Amino acid sequence: MIIKPDDVVLFTGDSITDCGRDRADSNHLGNGYAMLAAGQLYSQIASPALKVYNRGISGNRVYDLEARIEPDLLALKPTILSILIGINDTWRRFDSNMISATADYKASYQRILSRVQKELPETQIILLEPFLLPVPEDRKNWREDLDPKITAVRELAIEFGTEYIPFDGIFAEAATRAPAGYWLPDGVHPSLAGHTLIADAWLDHAQIG
């Protein structure tokens, strides 16, 4: 993934990406990994032409992301598109009995990627793997729903030839160095350390052009 001085970088997804961004300010990056990664890009590239946007929305499932593809994705014409979506497609099954079959999740994600590649063929896409740690213990039960969705995202990365970061594995490894709650206090939402882990891994995939 080569990032150039005049690129438009878009981070999109759910609350993990949103992370408290001010919706009234279209340039606000929130307080999480998108902001941390953007700061490094702005500092290292040092180009006024570089633009970084955050369009994560808390609570979104993949279907919500698909529904707002026009104003929050295509209209921004990103040259670098980073997507993290999926944990709410699992979460809603366990707190609201809203079941999102893996096939439906994958099909919606597939439609998003197809439109991007059709309408913005020069856009570089990077898919971020949904992740989960067992905090609290009942999160272990979520695995039966999330794991097939993770496999689906991996398959989509192959199908569409995108970049891919295996964050479920990255957080699992991190949890051998410090307790799971240190990284993801509720098993889903990152701490400052967790957001930094995401930003660092994302930047490791970026080559300054």
From 58, 189, 200, 205, active-site residue: 189
pLDDT at 209 (0 to 100): 62
Edge to edge, what strands does the sheet with 163-165 contain?
A: 51-54, 8-13, 80-84, 124-128, 163-165
| pLDDT 10s digits, 82-123 | 999 999 999 999 888 888 899 999 999 999 999 999 999 999
pLDDT at 11 over 70: yes
Each residue's pLDDT tens digit, 122-166: 999 999 999 999 999 999 999 999 999 999 999 999 999 999 999
Cis peptide, bond prior to residue 136, ω within 30 of zero: yes
Active-site hit among 6, 22, 104, 186: 186
> Which residues make beta-bridge pairs with 82?
11, 126
Q: What is the CATH number of the domain that holds 191?
A: 3.40.50.1110
Q: What is the number of domains present in the chain?
A: 1
> From the CB of residue 9, how many other CB atoms can be counted at a distance below 10 Å?
24
**What range does the domain containing 92 cover?**
2-208
Helix axes 192-204 and 33-45, enclosed angle (nearest 10): 40
15 included as an active-site residue: yes
pLDDT of residue 95: 87
Amino acid occupying residue 140:
K
Write down the pTM of the prediction.
Answer: 0.96
- Check residue 100 and give its pLDDT: 87
- The pLDDT tens digits of the residues spanning 13-69 come to 999 999 999 999 999 999 999 999 999 999 999 999 999 999 999 999 999 999 999
Tell me which of 15, 82, 100, 108 is the catalytic residue: 15
pLDDT at 1: 83
Does the annotation count 138 as an active-site position? no
Give 158's contacts (C-beta < 8 A, 6+ positions apart): none
DSSP state of 136: S
* Residue among 10, 17, 9 at smallest CA distance from 45: 9
For the stretch 91-106, what's the b/e string if a residue is b when 16 or more beta carbons lie within 10 angstroms of its beta carbon? Answer: bbbeeeeeebebeebb
Tokens of 189: 């939402």
* pLDDT one-digit tens code per residue, 174-201: 999 999 999 999 999 999 999 999 999 9
Active-site residue 186, yes or no?
yes
